[in-house]
Structure 1
Amino acid sequence: MHSPTTTHLDAINRILRYLKSSPGRGILMKKQNNANLVVGYSDADWAGSFDRKSTTGYCTFVWDNLVTWRSKKQNVVARSSAEAEYRAMASTASELIWLKQLLRDMGVNCSEPMKMYCDNQAARHIASNPVFHERTKHIEVDCHFIREKVQAKEIETPYVGSKDQLADVFTKALDKGSFQKIIDKFGSINIFDPNLRGSIEKNICHVRKY
């Protein structure tokens, strides 16, 4: 805002073009019977910013419905991709714990471990291994509460392949095909699409019954 350049203007124009082309796009919430009540996807783009800081990205689902998501540059420079991913997992774990408490306040108990999908094997091993690694001493102590949640069986960290990592859309640029695939899995639809108009109205009426 203080020193705008043509690069900033190009970015704004690109955002406006996207918004203008999709005025009817939104997320349709559906009633699901999935056993996994709360699920999260965690990802990080290592040293992707101009100042070599990494970007944290995550999204969370409740009964397969996208409810929260975030993309934010990390405060410090990560010295490895595992560290960047681990910091992202810490943010995702905090969000999952908050969602669990929110659901509990509404009378919905989440007894099963919440799944937090990550595509970095090193970060997953650090979270699940009780041994304090030499390579993790430079990570803030508050990030290690993930390990406590894993040991308490509140959170599981299953592996997910990069092609199925939904949080990729919050950390890096994707090709059109990958981007469309992810937002489809988010439940994002265009209510003005003539091919979907009838089915969407039917689903909306079905949801209103509940």
Structure 2
Amino acid sequence: MSDDKPVHTPLEIKLKLSLERQPLPNISYYQRLVGKLIYLTITKPDIAYSVSIASQFMHSPTMEHFNLVKKILRYLKGSVGHGIIMKKNESTQIIGYCDVDWAGNYIDHKSTTGYCTFVGGNLVTWKSKKQAVVARSSAEAEY
């Protein structure tokens, strides 16, 4: 993939992945690659959501899912040098953000929720998780 051009985003907006395509012939290669990307999310939280999407298909990936992983790799190629930066400052202000996409998964209609916490302007915690049940309203999804 060294000749591939970098991309600006690791995932398309409103991505619709299906399970009905032809399975990937070498599943273990896909699993090892996604496992390495999961490990990389420790220092690259900007790929956490797209890697979580790719990891949902670990047991039955298709070529469409493999193309998603290749797009993440192309994004990483273009974002060398970006990561978590910790700056020394006098502030100890704690700020938190959260968001949810209501029924954003097109396969099972489950919501994904996430949050991040900053202390003194430095990112210290973050999490993105697919909810266990289908929310019937946006208020229920955010709860």
TM-score normalised over the length of structure 2: 0.55
Which runs of 4 or more aligned residues in structure 1 lie more than 6 Å from their structure 2 counterparts after TM superposition? none
Tell me the distance in 2 between the aligned counterparts of 1:56 and 1:85. 7
Q: What percentage of residue pairs aligned between the two structures are identical?
A: 67
Q: Which runs of 5+ in 1 are unaligned?
A: 87-210
Instruction: Indicate the residue corresponding to 1:16 in structure 2.
Output: 73
Tell me the distance in 1 between the aligned counterparts of 2:90 and 2:59. 50
Alignment-mate amino acid for residue 99 of structure 2: D
Tell me the distance in 1 between the aligned counterparts of 2:96 and 2:59. 37
Equivalent residues in 2 for 1:122-133, closer than 5 Å: none
Contact (CA 8 Å) 2:99, 2:113: kept in 1 or not? yes
Provide the aligned C-alpha RMSD in A: 1.4
* Larger-gyration structure (1/2): 1
What displacement does 1:31 show?
Answer: 1.7
Alignment-mate amino acid for residue 138 of structure 2: S
Contact (CA 8 Å) 2:113, 2:130: kept in 1 or not? yes
Tell me the distance in 2 between the aligned counterparts of 1:60 and 1:9. 32
Write the deviation string for residues 37-57 of structure 1: whole angstroms up to 9, x where unpaired. x21101110011121111011
2:89 to 3, 7, 32: 32
* Structure 1 or 2: more helix by fraction: 1
Alignment-mate amino acid for residue 110 of structure 2: K
Write the deviation string for residues 137-182 of structure 1: whole angstroms up to 9, x where unpaired. xxxxxxxxxxxxxxxxxxxxxxxxxxxxxxxxxxxxxxxxxxxxxx
Instruction: Indicate the residue corresponding to 2:97 in structure 1.
Output: 41
TM-score normalised over the length of structure 1: 0.38
Tell me the distance in 2 between the aligned counterparts of 1:55 and 1:79. 14
Q: Which runs of 5+ in 2 are unaligned?
A: 1-57
Instruction: Indicate the residue corresponding to 1:70 in structure 2.
Output: 127
Instruction: Indicate the residue corresponding to 1:127 in structure 2.
Output: none
Alignment-mate amino acid for residue 63 of structure 1: G
